[in-house]
Structure 1
Amino acid sequence: MDITNENYNEENNIWKYEMRREMQEIIPGLFLGPFYCAKNLKLLEENHITHILCITDTKEENIIKPYLKGQFIYLVINASDNPLEILIPHFQKVKNFINNALYSNGKILIHSNASISRSPTFVIAYLMESNNISYEEAFKIVKSKRFCIKPNMGFELQLKEYEPIFKAKNNSNTNSEQTLRKSRKNHRRDNSDDDDSYDDDDEEY
């Protein structure tokens, strides 16, 4: 989904403190909000949520957990809100889960406990890689919708470290696709040459 041409303002003039208890639609079909929203069946149904990404840790997993199993498709990521927690290995799995939701015309809620640090980090990472944009650009987009976000210092550093990683991967994939297309084009040309036979009198100069 191309969001690079959208106009996002970091200063959200209508933001109110109590809105941190609500979920916000960051891009079409992708919602970010607290655990409270993830157990509100009426709210989820009203917003046509089909997938839920739950981010919890061992200390809270008995509370912050899939609350409505059987009614939604869940992915659970175990990660604490600790600057030393390594999140990068989870980014690809989360990206695939989000894409599965959006590409199947579903909608997804991403939540942790308060959805101020952990879950916004995953949303920012998704926007960065999916749209090939910087941490600063993706952060601005998310903050324009959910003003209370504040990834901890360790998560912020990992997001900045992730930028050259996914850009190198994207460039590699692009080069591979270009090479494949060129190879197919050459193959078709070779086959065409094999099918065409010319007499000397027929050649054009």
Structure 2
Amino acid sequence: MAASSNYGGDRMTPYVQSFPYSDKRLFEPPRVQIPPPALDYQHGRPTFRVSSTSFGQMSGIYGDPTFLRALTACYNLNMRHTMLSWQYEMRRTAQAIVPFLFLGPSSAAKDPEFVKRTGITLLVAVRNTTSVRTRPAFLDPALFPSSEGISTLTFDFDSPYDFIPNLRPIVRAMNDHLAATCIRTPPKDVSDIKGKILVFCESGNDRSTVLVAAYLMATFGISAVSAIHIIQSQRFSITTSDEMKNVLLDWQEIVKAERQVAAGQQQASSFVLPQRPVKRNIDHVYDNDDAGLDSQQSGNLEVREGVAPFADVAG
């Protein structure tokens, strides 16, 4: 029979603890709960819509602003959710999150037939820095047989704190690649963009998911939750840790602040400020005073000749 222990003040309980108390939860990142999207079942198919904002920045930190404004204007994030048709085997291939951006595992990126059939023009590998340091050829898309004749990029980070500082160059490189493949500039329709990007990691469910989410947030101005909803609607097998969800929330605030600053600068440039008068220098002051005196004397010469301060006694 278990010995009695006092866990409730004066109240005695017939239980003893099996394990020591732990405070490890205090050192874990805050839990981030992703609510389900608001689905609209049209014709028995779940769909949802994400409201994006036009690209209003003038700088080129994420790519050509003209191209990005045209892209966000011609493509609406009206998503059809695949949760009813998703099968477990589908996680072994890649899915189109948006028409020009695919997400999947490294096995799909290594498959020449898949890359050719889907028209992939850029392979982006998301890798662990420690793994690359140990094995320099780890998930290097340039070494894949499927990469012949197409572009490749790598994005390496170790901890969540390394993600945001290195994010802008890779987003810009992706957008520059898409802009270079347009059949007309700026694009009038998403079909004008002939380039297709495949972002991948080992499983296609974690590290690469975060990069795709960050790209959608920077390009379309959507929230972290909306970005995860969009990705999961097309690739139902994704898993994102609480650490990376918190990183995406931080990235959300950065993108929001950048867009607010850009909007404020555009609004300020639309106002015409009154021109301030130029301050007169001392020579200008004396020249104006002399000119005023001369004009005054010439105008009253016939009326007032003036009186000499001294008279000549001899005269």
- Is this a same-fold pair by TM over 0.5? yes
Q: 1:72 aligns with which of 137, 142, 150?
A: 150
Amino acid at match of 2:78: E
Measured after TM superposition, the shift of residue 102 of structure 1 is 2.2
Measured after TM superposition, the shift of residue 5 of structure 1 is 4.7
The structure-2 alpha-carbon separation of the partners of 1:41 and 1:186, relative to structure 1 and needing over 3 Å to count, comes to farther
* Distance across 2 between alignment mates of 1:165 and 1:23: 29
Q: 2:131 aligns with which of 53, 56, 59?
A: 59
TM (norm. structure 2) is: 0.53
The structure-2 alpha-carbon separation of the partners of 1:8 and 1:167, relative to structure 1 and needing over 3 Å to count, comes to farther
State the match for 2:170 in structure 1. Answer: 94
Report the count of equivalent residues: 183
* Distance across 1 between alignment mates of 2:106 and 2:271: 49
Measured after TM superposition, the shift of residue 181 of structure 1 is 4.5
8 Å CA contact retained: 1:8, 1:140: no
Measured after TM superposition, the shift of residue 114 of structure 1 is 0.6
Structure showing greater radius of gyration is 2
Unpaired runs of 5+ in structure 1?
188-205
SS at structure 2 position matched to 1:6: strand
What do residues 159-179 of structure 1 show as CA deviations (whole Å, max 9, x unaligned)? 011111111011112222333
SS at structure 1 position matched to 2:139: coil
* Distance across 1 between alignment mates of 2:86 and 2:274: 57
* Distance across 2 between alignment mates of 1:14 and 1:64: 30
The structure that is strand-richer by fraction is: 2
State the match for 2:104 in structure 1. Answer: 33
Amino acid at match of 1:33: G
* Distance across 1 between alignment mates of 2:274 and 2:256: 28
SS at structure 2 position matched to 1:59: helix
Q: 2:214 aligns with which of 111, 125, 142?
A: 125
- Counting aligned pairs with the same residue, the percent is 27
The structure that is helix-richer by fraction is: 1
Indicate whether 1:6 and 2:73 are aligned.
Answer: no
* Distance across 1 between alignment mates of 2:178 and 2:233: 21
Unpaired runs of 5+ in structure 2?
1-70, 182-194, 276-315
8 Å CA contact retained: 1:4, 1:131: no
8 Å CA contact retained: 2:79, 2:233: no
